[in-house]
Amino acid sequence: MFKKPLAMVLVLLLFTTVLGAGTTSAGSREDRQTRFAEKIRVNIAKLGTGSQALVALKLKDKTKVAGYISEVRDDSFLVVHPKFGTVTSVNYADVAQARGNNLSTGAKIAIGIGIGAGVVLILLLIYIKCCTG
């Protein structure tokens, strides 16, 4: 008795959910692109500028840009190729993938501690070999 009306209600709910998801995904795609561009902007700002701030970028039009960041602006940044000296202006919204080659301060400290520990270990091994042998 209630099967047919219940089935109709469920079909209508499913249909409106599918249609509603299509309209909300268009807005969320733009939101995702905006959030991604903001994330790129923040990460580029963290890298800083100068010859130590190396980046490798893949843009949405499939081109690749590599070099160091020479200037950071509100909506774009400049990448200079170290070998050729060509300057490329890149909008944050045009970046599809970015990789930076700049170590954080914590990573530099950890590397320094590792090197220091290695030197101490080698000196200790040399001392043990010389004095016990």
* Model confidence pLDDT, tens digit, residues 4-59: 766 666 666 666 666 555 554 556 888 888 888 888 888 888 888 888 888 899 99
Check residue 20 and give its pLDDT.
56
Check residue 58 and give its pLDDT.
92
* Residue predicted with more confidence, 25 or 113: 113
- What pTM value is reported for the model? 0.56
Check residue 18 and give its pLDDT.
60
Q: Token pair of 97, please?
A: 């993938």
Q: Which fold has domain 3-102?
A: SH3 type barrels. (2.30.30)
Dihedral angle over CA of 35, 38, 43, 47, nearest 10: 170
Check residue 98 and give its pLDDT.
85
